[in-house]
Amino acid sequence: MCGIVAYVGPRDAQPILLDALGRLEYRGYDSAGLAILNGHGVQVRKKSGRIEELAKACRAKPVEGRSGISHTRWATHGAPTDANAHPHLDASGKLALVHNGVIENYLELKDRLAKAGHKFASDTDTEILAHLVGDCFSQNQEKGEVRLIEAVRKALKQVQGTLGIAVIHSDLPGLVVGARRGSPLVIGVGNGENFLASDTQALAPYTNRVVILQDQEIVALHADRFEVASPLGQKADVRVEEIENGVTASDKGPHPHFMLKEIHEQAETVRNAFRGRLDADEATAKLGGLNLSSEDLRRVERIFVLGCGTALHAGMVGKYLIETLAKIPVDTQHASEFRYGDSPVHEKTLFFAVSQSGETADTLGALREAKRRGFRCLGICNNVSSTIARESDGGVYMHAGPEIGVAATKSFTSQVVIFTLLGLLLGRQRSLSAAHGREILEALDKLPDQILALLQESASIQRAATAYAKARSMLFLGRLANFPIALEGALKMKEVTYIHAEGYPSAELKHGVIALIDKETPSVLIATQDGVYDKNLGSLQEIKARGGPVLAVAHGDDAKVAGLADVVFRVPRTHELVQPILNVIPLQLFSYHMAVTLGRDVDKPRNLAKSVTVE
């Protein structure tokens, strides 16, 4: 969602901040701004719209200076306007602040500050925080940088909500103060220069050495040093880590959009998800990162999967896989509902929190709630240095590489592969035969080549997208493990095309959904051959009998489906339990090509954010 970048060092800050903000575009935003100390006070430039609008403003009226803060905003309080864009100034105009998160008691704080004579220029909760920090600064009698640090600490004690902030003050050139509570912040450690960012992707060209701030910590950042303190002001222990440099991965290469690039990367990312984790001799999977012994795993009697959006859909496929292979009951729930609900949980339950970024606020909150109840919690995420990865008791790293497109594609298939491995591992510890286990292993091993073959169907899928681009609503239908694939297909369509789309179990047609069928409403039916194949054929005929167009995902040699459906998305044949990984790919391509046909901003859909770090 919102992104923060700060710089202090010997170089001109403006081009560095603009470049780093550009590397956060994938997170989703609606305005951007920066504030730089130029020796004559705080100079602010901010604009609604894309970062290019901010860059134009900076080219028209450049700001020179060697320290500054910058921000991309995803609106929570106030419309996306120039006035509401960050940074925000305090009452003196000397302090500038950028903020990720939500201040839940901002109205109470605003009322108190207004009674003290403060005037506000925006509708945001962030401006209230800037005034609050500035007020604490003006009342503080400390000297030097301690004055700003203590002002931030005092202000945050009065604030309810999540935040990651960066603050500068014209009286303290060469200093950036940052603080974290719930919203991620990392220090980028350079050579005679230092950075602060909400995402390591912003730091890729500048440094691969980072310090990840823990919750409640405050950092004082200078060009040649930094100091991290605990909430009580005690010096914190820090560890400088080296991260993978994402510059190459951030390039679209020959593809026009990141979404298409990442769809085409799935042969590689699926292989990365199972590389080194297949045990052919024992016909099982190896997942050492779970930090659980065989005895621990055998004692698990239930599993609970938490996630949001695409990650939850992957968990729903995982439910089917684990229940089928290991005969362990699996519950799946929206993380946002679990964290505030009263769901009863069996005492021998193992939790999985699924998140591509590892920073999803609702999933992190649900994980913390499960841990508070005393349950063991494992993470499935793509960022080994993320909060969920750090706070989990163990887990599985996806190895998918950076996913820049807002609409998740390769992360979904990687997550489903990991759930397949989990099902295989747990199943082999119970009643799953070695022969059946080897069938799963062989199917996984063949997946990358099958994905490459499937991607050759892109041109025919593009033709179908052109034909149906005028649809105002669509239905996506599937059964068993393909029901969550239908949900995921509908979500992709909504996200990148803005066409209304819904996913249902295909048997639900007769229970109300069939009322929506007409010649203007296409239905996408997943009808690969499995235990409910004949039932799906019946659903297809019911739709056709009512004049509804049908686009079917089916095996390439399936003459029955080809004779009934208007369009067939052909997929290779594999093991029934692995088939959903292949079935989702034509739905990803279909949504992508529909979005391109409609002229949508594919990689940055309206109103959406890649990493949802607020509730």
Q: What digits encode the pLDDT tens for the residues 16-32?
A: 999 999 888 766 678 89
Residues 6+ apart with CB under 8 A from 412: 310, 311, 313, 314, 488, 584
Residue 424 vs residues 267, 331, 417: alpha-carbon distances, Å: 21, 18, 11
pLDDT > 80? residue 220 = yes
CATH architecture classification, 256-455 = 3-Layer(aba) Sandwich (3.40)
Q: Where are the alpha helices (DSSP H) in 546-603?
A: 559-564, 579-597
Position 239 scores a pLDDT of 85
2 catalytic per annotation: yes
Position 143 scores a pLDDT of 82
Identity at 150, one-letter amino acid code? E
Quick check: do 256-455 and 456-602 share a fold?
Answer: yes
Position 610 scores a pLDDT of 65
**pLDDT tens track for 582-610:** 999 999 999 999 999 999 999 888 877 66
Give mean pLDDT, residues 438-461. Answer: 97
Least confident of 106-120, 222-236, 431-445: 222-236
Position 247 scores a pLDDT of 47
How far apart, in whole angstroms, are the C-alpha atoms of residue 549 and residue 375? Answer: 48
Position 605 scores a pLDDT of 87
The encoded tokens of residue 431 equal 């009643």
**pLDDT tens track for 340-366:** 988 899 999 999 999 998 888 899 999
For the chain, the average pLDDT equals: 92
Give mean pLDDT, residues 255-282. Answer: 96
- Neighbouring CB atoms inside 10 A of 475's CB total 25
Position 230 scores a pLDDT of 76
Give mean pLDDT, residues 65-90. Answer: 89
Give the three-state DSSP class for 220.
strand
Residue 611 pLDDT class (50, 70, 90 cuts): low
Residue 245 vs residues 206, 249, 263, 374: alpha-carbon distances, Å: 9, 8, 21, 37
pLDDT > 80? residue 249 = no
**pLDDT tens track for 366-382:** 999 999 999 999 999 99
Residue 250 pLDDT class (50, 70, 90 cuts): low
The encoded tokens of residue 248 equal 């190459």
- Bridge partners (DSSP) listed for residue 5: 70, 197
Task: Tell which residue, 36, 37, 6, 38, has the closest CA to residue 24.
Answer: 6
Q: Which of 410, 492, 494, 610 is catalytic?
A: 610
Residue 461 vs residues 75, 373, 587: alpha-carbon distances, Å: 35, 47, 9
**pLDDT tens track for 412-422:** 999 999 999 99
Determine the distance from the C-alpha atom of residue 492 to the mean position of all C-alpha atoms in its chain, rounded to a whole number.
14
Position 248 scores a pLDDT of 44
Main-chain phi, psi angles of 20, to 5 degrees: -65, -40
The encoded tokens of residue 277 equal 């984790």
pLDDT > 70? residue 185 = yes
Longest dimension (CA), the chain: 82
308 catalytic per annotation: no
Rounding to the nearest 10 degrees, give the CA dihedral for residues 133, 137, 139, 142: 140
pLDDT > 90? residue 226 = yes
Give mean pLDDT, residues 504-531. Answer: 93
Q: What percent of the chain shows pLDDT beyond 70?
A: 97
Buried b / exposed e along 91-100 (16+ C-beta atoms within 10 A): beebbbbbbb
How far apart, in whole angstroms, are the C-alpha atoms of residue 334 and residue 354? Answer: 11
Task: Tell which residue, 571, 526, 531, has the closest CA to residue 550.
Answer: 526
Length of the chain: 615
pLDDT > 90? residue 1 = no
Q: At the top level of CATH, which class does the domain 456-602 belong to?
A: alpha beta
| One-character DSSP codes across 372-435 | HTT-EEEEEES-TTSHHHHHSSEEEE-------SSS--HHHHHHHHHHHHHHHHHHHTTT--HH
Contact predicate 551/557, CB 8 Å:
no
Position 232 scores a pLDDT of 61
Buried b / exposed e along 575-611 (16+ C-beta atoms within 10 A): bbbbbbbbbbbbbbbbbbbbbbbeebebbbbeebbbb
Delimit the domains of the chain by residue range.
3-248, 256-455, 456-602
How far apart, in whole angstroms, are the C-alpha atoms of residue 8 and residue 221? Answer: 7
Task: Tell which residue, 174, 205, 201, 159, has the closest CA to residue 72.
Answer: 201
Residue 442 pLDDT class (50, 70, 90 cuts): very high
Residue 613 pLDDT class (50, 70, 90 cuts): low
Q: At the top level of CATH, which class does the domain 3-248 belong to?
A: alpha beta
Between the two ends of the chain, the Cα-to-Cα distance in Å is 11
Task: Tell which residue, 406, 353, 361, 334, has the closest CA to residue 612.
Answer: 361
Position 206 scores a pLDDT of 93
Position 27 scores a pLDDT of 65
Position 546 scores a pLDDT of 93
Give mean pLDDT, residues 464-485. Answer: 96
Give mean pLDDT, residues 144-152. Answer: 92
Give mean pLDDT, residues 472-486. Answer: 97
Q: What percent of the chain shows pLDDT beyond 90?
A: 78
Position 322 scores a pLDDT of 98
Determine the distance from the C-alpha atom of residue 53 to the mean position of all C-alpha atoms in its chain, rounded to a whole number.
25
Main-chain phi, psi angles of 515, to 5 degrees: -65, -20
Q: Cis before residue 87, ω within 30 degrees of 0?
A: yes
Contact predicate 96/133, CB 8 Å:
no
Give mean pLDDT, residues 299-308. Answer: 96
Q: Which of 2, 58, 136, 308 is catalytic?
A: 2
How far apart, in whole angstroms, are the C-alpha atoms of residue 485 and residue 580? Answer: 7
- Bridge partners (DSSP) listed for residue 476: 503, 524
pTM here is 0.83
